[in-house]
């Protein structure tokens, strides 16, 4: 039985194909269109999913869309009426797409699938999130917590997953939303909403929590169970085209920071403050859910579940024995959740957790791949200079290049599903190098220097470097670097403020050690990604260090690369030294001069 899951029309549209309960393929539309966070109907992603299993729309048994468009439209109308006539401009801007496509989702889907005549189901938005959190997890039963901006009306929900069912017990409703609160600060600090939230989280350790009291006194009425109400006079997202109001600006001493302008201590302090408030809310919610459900395990999804610092706090607090977070926790994962909801919840199929405790997500390596033969044929057509090697030679040469502090574009196997590069479409480097973070940020990614990088560490070695006692395959947990690896700071270094802290090496793995001695960890299991595991193992054999730097293979504003062609163009317009495409290596010095039209700034908007 083939079930197609679809998410679309907010951000990060995606498609997923589930066959007889197995997740066969999943991908975001942005990877194919090269438009970051593409919200449009995921035609390209659907085509990929169908081709991956060699079927067409006639072979589909069910299609599942990740939310209920009419309920969402009801919220839009009620919100406008509550604020009318204020908000007319934003209401009129949103109407054409709703009236043209969003409300007629069944017809849109049938047309896109060449007249598909089968059943289409519409689980609620947070049901899709909950399904994406629990059904792929390794647990037979667990508590579920979903947190995002807003679905139809719900902004957060909790419930229980048992065997082949998820049941939501409680939900918070719009406009009171942790996701939208965090996005308001994303907007105010000068970053792009639904894209720059990572930046706020990365900027937070440079600041001081001086605004926490102001946020809790003025903006958020927080209860002990983690529920809260927002003081809506400070926000503008219900009726306007911005996230924050003039009252917000007055409270925090001025208008929002202009995008791309200098980041000041104020923005750092705001980031630290909203991050601490967010962590406190997440902790209170998790404690409440544990108290209400009595479950030992927790599953998380929704865009807020991508806040890996908050996730790490829940883990270290010991509220639950085990935590599993959906790798594509945002709206993209809704496509996967909707498909699994159809298979288990609607059709009642049996679900049995694996005996080995592993999840059902296959390392989230669910996207397209290319063979070395196909890549070589393309390279011959383009006239690029390249070298083809065996697996053993690739392992030897890449590990040696890492030791020489060369930055490598790594393209191997199936593309990742979700926002994190997990060793299939990654830029990699030596974590021991003090200058690696700055070099990759400024000369390769072309982004702000404060942005941290994650370590890819052999799963069996993670405890040697970080204070963590479990796997973290999807880069969704933050843990501290072990104390014995840290470097003592001088009094002068301790007195540094803001971005000046960046240039201080804090451990023997400085390229992946953030200014607060934390790291966003990816543990690498040889069962999920044997080639990537082999590279890190060879690096360890030569250096004694079983970890490397891993960041996504793209430049700022660009989606992660999907095809060999995407990878080559990113390689050529940056200062990446070496490109590995499966068993093929390209060296920058051997390539023809790049076309002047390949400048990334002419193609991608800053995020």
- Would you state the structure tokens that stand for residue 581, as one six-digit string? 């495409």
- The DSSP secondary-structure symbol of 137 reads S
User: What angle separates helix 69-83 from helix 88-100, to the nearest 10 degrees?
Assistant: 160
In this prediction, residue 461 carries a pLDDT of: 98
Average pLDDT over residues 15-40: 97
Alpha-carbon distance 293 to 300, whole Å? Answer: 15
Q: Which domain holds residue 466?
A: 372-602
The answer to whether position 578 is within a domain reads yes
The answer to whether position 323 is within a domain reads no
Place of tokens 């194919």: 32
Instruction: Please say whether the dihedral angle defined by the alpha carbons of residues 68, 71, 76 and 77, taken in this order, is positive or negative.
Output: positive
310, 297, 322, 283: which is closest to 470 by C-alpha?
Answer: 322
In this prediction, residue 439 carries a pLDDT of: 86
Question: What is the overall mean pLDDT for the chain?
Answer: 94
Alpha-carbon distance 350 to 356, whole Å? Answer: 18
Q: Please give the share of the chain, as a percent, with pLDDT higher than 90.
A: 85
In this prediction, residue 110 carries a pLDDT of: 97
The answer to whether position 528 is within a domain reads yes
pLDDT at 300 over 90: yes
Average pLDDT over residues 382-398: 97
In this prediction, residue 428 carries a pLDDT of: 97
The answer to whether position 506 is within a domain reads yes
Alpha-carbon distance 443 to 420, whole Å? Answer: 20
Q: Is 371 helix (H, G, I), strand (E, B) or coil?
A: coil
- Would you state the structure tokens that stand for residue 159, as one six-digit string? 């419930």
CATH number at residue 394: 3.90.870.20
Q: How confident is the model at residue 58 (pLDDT cuts 50, 70, 90)?
A: very high
The distance of Cα 383 from the centroid of its chain, to the nearest Å, equals 35
Alpha-carbon distance 43 to 77, whole Å? Answer: 28
The answer to whether position 522 is within a domain reads yes
- The DSSP secondary-structure symbol of 388 reads E
pLDDT tens digits, one per residue of 189-202: 999 999 999 999 99
Alpha-carbon distance 40 to 11, whole Å? Answer: 8
pLDDT tens digits, one per residue of 75-85: 999 999 998 88
The answer to whether position 239 is within a domain reads no
Alpha-carbon distance 152 to 131, whole Å? Answer: 16
Q: How confident is the model at residue 533 (pLDDT cuts 50, 70, 90)?
A: very high
pLDDT tens digits, one per residue of 87-116: 888 889 889 888 888 999 999 999 999 999
pLDDT tens digits, one per residue of 59-75: 999 999 999 999 999 99
The answer to whether position 210 is within a domain reads no
In this prediction, residue 288 carries a pLDDT of: 98
In terms of average pLDDT, the best of 362-376, 424-438, 446-460, 488-502 is: 362-376
Q: How confident is the model at residue 343 (pLDDT cuts 50, 70, 90)?
A: very high
Alpha-carbon distance 220 to 243, whole Å? Answer: 15
The answer to whether position 476 is within a domain reads yes
Q: How confident is the model at residue 257 (pLDDT cuts 50, 70, 90)?
A: very high
- Spatial strand order in the sheet of 408-411: 387-388, 584-587, 578-581, 408-411, 425-429, 547-552, 454-458, 518-524, 477-480
Average pLDDT over residues 482-492: 88
pLDDT tens digits, one per residue of 315-325: 999 999 999 99
Alpha-carbon distance 303 to 527, whole Å? Answer: 28
Residue 551 and residue 426 in contact, taking contact as beta carbons nearer than 8 Å: yes
Average pLDDT over residues 141-161: 98
At 208, give phi and psi (nearest 5°). -120, 145
Alpha-carbon distance 322 to 235, whole Å? Answer: 36
- The CA-based dihedral angle spanning residues 410, 414, 415, 420, taken in that order and rounded to the nearest 10 degrees: -80
How many separate domains does the chain show?
A: 1
The distance of Cα 397 from the centroid of its chain, to the nearest Å, equals 31
Average pLDDT over residues 197-225: 96
In this prediction, residue 587 carries a pLDDT of: 97
- The CA-based dihedral angle spanning residues 221, 222, 227, 233, taken in that order and rounded to the nearest 10 degrees: 30
User: What angle separates helix 125-134 from helix 331-340, to the nearest 10 degrees?
Assistant: 80
Q: How confident is the model at residue 600 (pLDDT cuts 50, 70, 90)?
A: low
Q: How confident is the model at residue 602 (pLDDT cuts 50, 70, 90)?
A: low
């Amino acid at each position: 039985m083939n079930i197609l899951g679809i998410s679309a029309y907010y951000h990060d549209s995606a498609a997923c194909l589930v066959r007889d309960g197995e997740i066969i393929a999943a991908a975001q539309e942005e990877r194919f269109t090269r438009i970051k966070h593409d919200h449009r109907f995921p035609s390209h992603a659907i085509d990929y999913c169908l081709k991956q299993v060699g079927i067409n729309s006639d072979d589909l048994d069910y299609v599942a869309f990740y939310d209920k468009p009419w309920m969402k439209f009801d919220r839009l109308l009620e919100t406008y009426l509550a604020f009318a006539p204020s908000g007319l401009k934003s209401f009129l801007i949103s109407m054409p797409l709703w009236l043209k496509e969003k409300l007629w989702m069944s017809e849109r889907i049938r047309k896109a699938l060449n007249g598909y005549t089968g059943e289409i189901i519409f689980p609620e938005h947070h049901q899709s999130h909950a399904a994406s959190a629990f059904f792929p997890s390794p647990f037979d039963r667990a508590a579920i917590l979903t947190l995002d901006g807003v679905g139809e009306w719900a902004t957060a929900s909790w419930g229980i997953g048992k065997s082949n069912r998820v049941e939501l017990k409680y939900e918070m409703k719009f406009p009171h939303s942790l996701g939208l609160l965090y996005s308001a600060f994303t907007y105010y600090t000068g970053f792009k909403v639904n894209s720059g939230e990572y930046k706020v989280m990365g900027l937070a350790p440079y600041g001081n929590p001086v605004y926490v009291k102001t946020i809790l006194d003025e903006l958020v009425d927080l209860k002990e169970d983690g529920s809260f109400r927002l003081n809506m006079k400070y926000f503008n997202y219900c009726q306007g085209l911005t996230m924050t109001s003039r009252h917000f600006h007055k409270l925090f001493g001025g208008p929002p920071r202009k995008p791309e302008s200098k980041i000041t201590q104020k923005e750092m302090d705001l980031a630290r403050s909203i991050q601490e408030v967010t962590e406190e809310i997440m902790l209170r919610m998790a404690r409440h859910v544990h108290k209400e459900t009595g479950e030992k395990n927790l599953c998380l999804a929704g865009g807020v579940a991508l806040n890996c610092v908050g996730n790490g706090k829940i883990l270290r607090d010991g509220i639950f024995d085990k935590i599993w977070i959906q790798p594509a926790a945002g709206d993209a994962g809704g496509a996967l959740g909707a498909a699994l909801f159809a298979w288990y919840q609607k059709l009642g199929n049996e679900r049995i957790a694996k005996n080995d405790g592993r999840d059902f997500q296959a390392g989230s390596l669910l996207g397209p791949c290319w063979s070395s033969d196909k890549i070589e044929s393309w390279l011959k057509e383009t006239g690029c200079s390249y070298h083809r090697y065996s697996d053993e030679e690739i392992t030897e040469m890449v590990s040696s290049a890492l030791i020489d502090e060369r930055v490598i574009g790594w393209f191997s196997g199936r593309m990742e599903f979700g926002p994190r590069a997990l060793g299939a479409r990654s830029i990699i480097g030596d974590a021991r190098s003090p200058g690696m973070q700055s070099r990759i940020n400024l000369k390769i990614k072309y982004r702000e220097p404060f942005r941290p990088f994650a370590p890819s560490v052999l799963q069996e070695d993670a405890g040697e470097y970080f204070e963590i006692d479990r796997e973290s395959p999807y880069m969704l947990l933050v843990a501290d670097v072990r104390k014995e690896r840290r470097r003592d700071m001088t009094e002068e270094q301790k007195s540094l403020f803001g971005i000046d802290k960046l240039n201080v090496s804090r451990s023997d793995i400085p390229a992946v050690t953030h200014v607060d001695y934390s790291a966003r960890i990816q543990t690498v299991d040889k069962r999920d990604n044997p080639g990537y595991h082999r590279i890190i193992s060879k690096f360890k054999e030569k250096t004694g260090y079983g970890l490397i730097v891993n960041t996504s293979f793209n430049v700022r504003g660009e989606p992660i690369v999907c095809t060999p062609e995407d990878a080559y163009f990113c390689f050529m317009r940056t200062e990446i030294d070496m490109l590995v495409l499966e068993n093929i290596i390209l060296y920058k010095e051997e390539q023809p001069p790049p076309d002047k039209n390949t400048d990334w700034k002419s193609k991608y908007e800053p995020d």
